[in-house]
């Protein structure tokens, strides 16, 4: 009896997948998603949408389920940076959301087409997105807000340079640690070197 049930479920899944394919060809996303939502499990819905390359629909589905972090990961995969930030915000990850908005503003200020990097470029939603980043940062903590977010163009540049400095410092530290021999008993007085 269990095998009969399995056969019925398998046939049902095949019919639903066929219907989804037909609606996809007709570009009827609404009908397509109704069929997808009739699948047996969330897992099968997600796998099918991934396999078919319907990642925007998968983001929508994950959002409906309240899985904003998973939806944000998918948004990142398809290069939808602002959507990722919005989904992180919906998932109450205000810190990461504010940073994504900030870096988006910074990147679009520095690397617009034909930009030489200075002065910082203006773009349509710059103020709106920067204000959004500030609001989200303030939700994290006052300290995070004050130490992370720039309020002027000059502070944007300082913020970028500070981030670059810390990244380079971290890379040099990691490089140095990989070059230091494990047994360094003979190097106890390295602080006096060159005196």
- Model pLDDT for residues 84-134, shown as the tens digit of each residue: 999 999 999 988 898 888 888 888 777 656 656 555 666 678 888 888 888
Query: What would the pLDDT profile of 157-166 be if each residue is shown by its tens digit?
Result: 566 566 566 5
Residue 86 has a pLDDT of 95
Spatial neighbors of 29 by CB under 8 A, at least 6 apart, are 23, 57
CB 40 within 8 A of CB 5: no
By percentage, how much of the chain surpasses pLDDT 90? 38
Q: CA–CA separation, 65 vs 32, rounded Å? A: 18
By percentage, how much of the chain surpasses pLDDT 70? 67
As a whole number, mean pLDDT of residues 29-40 equals 93
As a whole number, mean pLDDT of residues 136-144 equals 72
Closest CA to 129 of 113, 147, 107, 111: 107
Q: CA–CA separation, 171 vs 22, rounded Å? A: 51
Selected residue with higher pLDDT from 109 and 8: 8
Q: What is the mean pLDDT of the chain?
A: 78
Residue 9 has a pLDDT of 87
**Does residue 188 surpass a pLDDT of 50?**
no
Q: CA–CA separation, 189 vs 91, rounded Å? A: 51
Selected residue with higher pLDDT from 5 and 157: 5
**88-to-66, 96, 126, 132, 137 alpha-carbon distances in Å:** 11, 7, 19, 13, 13
Q: CA–CA separation, 177 vs 130, rounded Å? A: 38
**Does residue 58 surpass a pLDDT of 70?**
yes
Q: CA–CA separation, 14 vs 12, rounded Å? A: 5
Query: What would the pLDDT profile of 61-84 be if each residue is shown by its tens digit?
Result: 999 999 999 999 999 999 999 999
Q: CA–CA separation, 51 vs 40, rounded Å? A: 17
Residue 191 has a pLDDT of 34
CB 14 within 8 A of CB 40: no
Dihedral angle computed from the Cα positions of residues 90, 96, 97 and 102, in that order, rounded to the nearest 10 degrees: 180
**Does residue 153 surpass a pLDDT of 70?**
no
Residue 101 has a pLDDT of 87
């Amino acid at each position: 009896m269990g095998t009969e049930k399995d056969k019925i479920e398998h046939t049902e899944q095949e019919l639903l997948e066929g219907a989804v394919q037909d609606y996809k060809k007709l570009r009827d996303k609404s009908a397509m998603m109704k069929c997808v939502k009739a699948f047996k499990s969330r897992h099968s819905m997600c796998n099918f949408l991934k396999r078919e390359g319907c990642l925007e629909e998968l983001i929508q589905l994950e959002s409906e389920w309240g899985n904003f972090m998973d939806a944000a990961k998918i948004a990142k995969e398809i290069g939808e940076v602002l959507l990722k930030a919005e989904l992180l915000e919906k998932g109450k990850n205000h810190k990461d959301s504010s940073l994504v908005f900030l870096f988006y503003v910074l990147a679009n200020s520095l690397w617009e087409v034909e930009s030489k990097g200075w002065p910082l470029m203006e773009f349509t939603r710059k103020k709106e997105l920067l204000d959004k980043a500030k609001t989200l940062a303030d939700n994290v903590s006052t300290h995070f807000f004050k130490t992370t977010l720039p309020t002027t163009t000059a502070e944007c540049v300082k913020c970028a340079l500070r981030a670059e400095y810390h990244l380079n410092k971290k890379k040099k530290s990691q490089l140095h640690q990989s070059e230091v021999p494990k047994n360094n008993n003979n190097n106890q007085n390295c602080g006096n070197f060159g005196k």
